[in-house]
């Protein structure tokens, strides 16, 4: 019994003090074990991360990765810094699982969160490196086969505002490969979150179609520019008008082919409606071009017609 100023605050009569002391002692022992394991894990993680850092920062490895296009020097240093820090804490949580008998939640937390998170991070980094490598390989291949030289030769290298086509294609390859790895990483980390996994699956099913649509549009632009330049080179009468007309027609059909892919239009009715609107607009444009061409031809032949009329008048006179 405990009293203060003659007032009884509480009594310990009937309380099993041995059980209370045992519970307190078990808590203290468990806390001490966790602290010791945390310190041991951090020390182990620190030394392992230092070794990993030295290995990853070997100059030959950095130079090889940079030359292959997998990464840049600054990006690689950031990846190494993040990886070493993460390795330290990964080993801390791993060592804490040794207290499974006292704290079972450590194993559950490690298996259900830390392991999927580690897989997620690894897939993202690998995807970034492989995507960069394949992007660089694509660009080098296109340059080697003379794509840019051919486009420059036929004066169509500036079709996309001066951006090299090889750079566009290599960028598409790089980020598509990266997205493939990210989608797998998201499924590993959030396998129980149906909304996010379904969103990633929908995105990855759309991306190939969008890339195909972009390629169709890109090819149509290149062909249109090539055809227009061939007409301009011949220097025929009203060549510029014909060149513009050819460009418009080819690009229009390119847009028609790319539209379902770019906007993922699977509904035939929606596509037919969009196609109808574009067709009507195209018809109006063609009529305008035809009228302009007729007026231009009329103006161009005006002097010739006047001369012929004058000669006929003189002959009859």
- pLDDT of 271 above 60: no
Unique residue bearing structure tokens 């220097």: 235
The span from the first CA to the last CA of the chain, in angstroms, equals 146
Q: How far apart are CA 292 and CA 198, in angstroms?
A: 52
State what percent of residues in the chain have pLDDT above 70.
67
pTM of full prediction above 0.75:
no
- pLDDT of 9 above 50: no
Copy the structure tokens of residue 105: 């939640």
Which pLDDT tens digit goes with each residue over 19-51? 666 777 788 888 898 899 999 999 999 999 999
Average pLDDT over residues 258-284: 59
- pLDDT of 172 above 50: yes
Position with higher pLDDT, 259 vs 130: 130
Copy the structure tokens of residue 117: 């998170």
Position with higher pLDDT, 254 vs 18: 254
Strands 2-4 and 7-10: antiparallel
Which pLDDT tens digit goes with each residue over 278-302? 555 555 555 555 555 555 555 555 5
Position with higher pLDDT, 144 vs 240: 144
Output the pLDDT for position 94: 93
Copy the structure tokens of residue 296: 């231009």
Q: How far, in whole angstroms, is CA 198 from its chain's centroid?
A: 18
Copy the structure tokens of residue 235: 């220097």
Output the pLDDT for position 279: 58
Output the pLDDT for position 4: 47
Contact 96, 156 (CB under 8 A): no
Contact 226, 154 (CB under 8 A): yes
Cα angle for residues 249, 251, 256 (degrees, 5° grid): 95
Q: What are phi and psi of 10, to 5 degrees?
A: -160, 165
Mean pLDDT estimate for the chain: 76
- Rg, the chain, Cα only: 36
Average pLDDT over residues 8-29: 64
Unique residue bearing structure tokens 């951090």: 42
Position with higher pLDDT, 148 vs 115: 115
- pLDDT of 153 above 70: no
Q: How far apart are CA 134 and CA 113, in angstroms?
A: 31
Q: Give me the helices (H) in 57-103, please.
A: 59-67, 73-96
Position with higher pLDDT, 109 vs 244: 109
**pLDDT-derived band of residue 254, with 50, 70 and 90 as boundaries?**
confident
Average pLDDT over residues 246-253: 80
State what percent of residues in the chain have pLDDT above 90.
25
Helix, strand or coil for residue 304?
Answer: helix
Unique residue bearing structure tokens 């030295």: 54
Q: How far is CA 308 from CA 146, 269, 312, 315, in A?
A: 53, 56, 6, 11
């Amino acid at each position: 019994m405990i009293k203060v100023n003659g007032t009884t605050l509480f009594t310990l009569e009937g309380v099993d003090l041995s059980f209370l002391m045992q519970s307190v002692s078990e808590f203290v022992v468990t806390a001490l074990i966790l602290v010791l394991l945390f310190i041991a894990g951090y020390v182990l993680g620190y030394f392992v991360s230092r070794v990993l850092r030295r290995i990853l920062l070997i100059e030959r490895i950095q130079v090889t990765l940079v030359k292959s296009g997998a990464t840049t020097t600054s990006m690689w240093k950031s990846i190494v810094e993040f990886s070493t820090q993460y390795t330290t804490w990964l080993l801390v949580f791993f060592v804490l699982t040794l207290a499974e008998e006292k704290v079972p939640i450590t194993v559950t937390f490690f298996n259900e969160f830390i392991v999927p998170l580690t897989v997620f991070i690894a897939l993202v980094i690998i995807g970034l490196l492989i995507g960069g490598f394949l992007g660089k390989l694509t660009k080098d291949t296109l340059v080697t086969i003379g794509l840019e030289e051919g486009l420059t030769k036929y004066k169509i290298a500036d079709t996309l505002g001066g951006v090299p086509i090889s750079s566009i294609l290599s960028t598409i390859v790089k980020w598509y490969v990266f997205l493939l790895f990210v989608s797998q990483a998201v499924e590993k980390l959030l396998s129980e979150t149906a909304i996010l996994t379904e969103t990633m699956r929908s995105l990855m099913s759309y991306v190939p179609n969008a890339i195909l649509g972009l390629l169709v549009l890109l090819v149509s632009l290149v062909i249109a520019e090539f055809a227009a330049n061939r007409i301009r080179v011949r220097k025929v009468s009203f060549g510029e008008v014909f060149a513009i007309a050819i460009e418009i027609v080819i690009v229009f059909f390119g847009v028609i082919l790319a539209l379902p892919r770019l906007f993922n239009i699977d509904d035939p009715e929606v596509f037919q409606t969009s196609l109808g609107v574009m067709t009507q607009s195209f018809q109006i444009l063609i009529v305008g071009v035809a009228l302009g061409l007729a007026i231009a031809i009329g103006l161009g032949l005006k002097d010739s017609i006047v001369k012929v009329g004058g000669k006929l008048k003189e002959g009859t006179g």
